[in-house]
Structure 1
Amino acid sequence: MLIDGKQMHIQITKGQIGRYVILPGDPARCEKIARYFDNPQKLASNREYTLYTGTLDGVQVGVCSTGIGGPSAAIALEELVECGADTFIRVGTSGGMQDDVKAGDICIATAAIRQEGTSREYLPIEFPAVANFDIVLALRDAAEQLGYPYHTGVIQSKDSFYGELRPHQQAIAEELLSKWKAWKAGGALTSEMETAALLIVSAVLGVRCGAVLNVLWNADNDAADTIPPDATERGVRAAVEALRLLIARDV
């Protein structure tokens, strides 16, 4: 779907962005992430999609925001692949689910619970949303190099932000609370809204995708004032360093 030669939503053309792309949700984070690149340049800004390009270790990389939730994230991934990208790291914020997942930690997703709707329009619910192994390893190595407290494992993706924060107010409160209890019992680390869709779409398109999530609170027991001042930057720095590792390993 091209308009004047550009992708309909992200508004760039093939060749304008490299194969390696970081995917935050918030457009305002794109410029901050691009500052870690050499020679960053803004490419486009349309709706929830803001894009920058630059280089790391002489290789072209990019950043593209996805907005909130699976539908807009899937659109971004589809169009970025059309433009030549094939390696993606989602960076986002989340709420910890396990007691030992604290504000300031980062969670590296090995897989995601598909409690959302977008991925069901790509693959049946029985198909797992699994992160690319090379990206998981690169993110783990980056977190260790940076000295950040981190966890690796399954995370939960959902469609309703307030369904998590205010489950008792929802008409299906009993179902939401029961599933939350089950996810925790199974060891789910943290909760967010985009990863499952991105992992499933990447599987269908045959590209690599992973995710690193900044934990800003624990959904059950953290106070807001416990958030470290650099909490939102930890996942970003881990993603940037992971891209450097992937670039070196892909040679």
Structure 2
Amino acid sequence: MSTGIGCPSASIAVEELANAGATHFIRVGSTAAIQPHIKTGDIIINTAALRNDGTTRAYVPDNYPAVADHFLTRALIEAAIAQRENQDFSLYVGVNACDDAFYAETSEWIEKLTRYNLLNIEMESSAIFTVAHLRKLKAAMVCGVSGNLVAADYDYDQGEHGNTRLVNAWENAIQIALEAIVRNHSDSTANLVG
């Protein structure tokens, strides 16, 4: 299911899919890297998100963490490692920032997030992780890097055929998510309740 951009629509999707019986959620999409060594086309799997959005504040207090499910994240990591045997990308695992405003990030804000050793910025994870956790569901995320805000590494200005690294990243992220679903389904520890 496509949720569009941002936490409001992502939270609605989790709530409505949960009401329909869904128990596992994997966000697959794009993200902007903020560590200078991460390149367009790389893959990032996030373990938690810094909540800089308004939606999750309607659910929980500011100091409540937005954390991915450990077992589903582990399945993504294992799938990504296997995918790297056939594809050329670097894999990064760590914490991201989740912001509401696509064009409002200032250079000062990006520098601060980089100093916090966050890997990337995107716009849905905090809502997906938070709502899933509150509803006792499992959520994780895998993203292809669409550009680097610190290193100014972008392909969007290369024209229609210059987005090869980004397209490959999206394809890799999709394959990783599909393989993680298979791995998670066959992993008996995935049924542990947190």
Fold in common (TM above 0.5): yes
SS at match of 1:146: helix
Runs of at least 4 residues off by over 3 Å:
none
State the alpha-carbon separation in 2 of the partners of residues 91 and 153 from structure 1.
Answer: 16
State the alpha-carbon separation in 2 of the partners of residues 126 and 120 from structure 1.
Answer: 10
Equivalent pair of 2:45/2:93 in contact (CA under 8 Å): yes
Does structure 1 residue 184 correspond to structure 2 residue 121? no
What per-residue deviation string (whole Å, max 9, x for no partner) do you get for residues 198-234 of structure 1?
A: 1111111110001011101111220324751412211
Q: Normalising by the residue count of structure 2, what TM-score does the alignment of the two structures yield?
A: 0.87
The aligned residue for residue 244 of structure 1 is 182
State the alpha-carbon separation in 1 of the partners of residues 101 and 140 from structure 2.
Answer: 22
* More helix as a share of residues: 2
Return the match for 1:159 from 100, 121, 124. Answer: 100
* More strand as a share of residues: 1
The aligned residue for residue 121 of structure 1 is 58
Does structure 1 residue 201 correspond to structure 2 residue 131? yes
Q: CA deviation at 1:152?
A: 0.3
Matched letter for residue 230 of structure 1? N
RMSD over aligned CA atoms reads 1.4
Equivalent pair of 1:143/1:149 in contact (CA under 8 Å): no
State the alpha-carbon separation in 2 of the partners of residues 178 and 205 from structure 1.
Answer: 35
SS at match of 1:100: coil
What per-residue deviation string (whole Å, max 9, x for no partner) do you get for residues 91-130 of structure 1?
A: 1111110011111111101000101110111110101101
Gaps of 5+ in 2: none
Gaps of 5+ in 1: 1-63, 168-176
Taking every aligned residue pair, what percent have the same amino acid on both sides? 36
Higher gyration radius (CA) = 1
State the alpha-carbon separation in 1 of the partners of residues 170 and 143 from structure 2.
Answer: 9
Does structure 1 residue 223 correspond to structure 2 residue 161? no
State the alpha-carbon separation in 2 of the partners of residues 232 and 213 from structure 1.
Answer: 7
User: Larger relative CO (CA 8 A, sep 6+): 1 or 2?
Assistant: 2
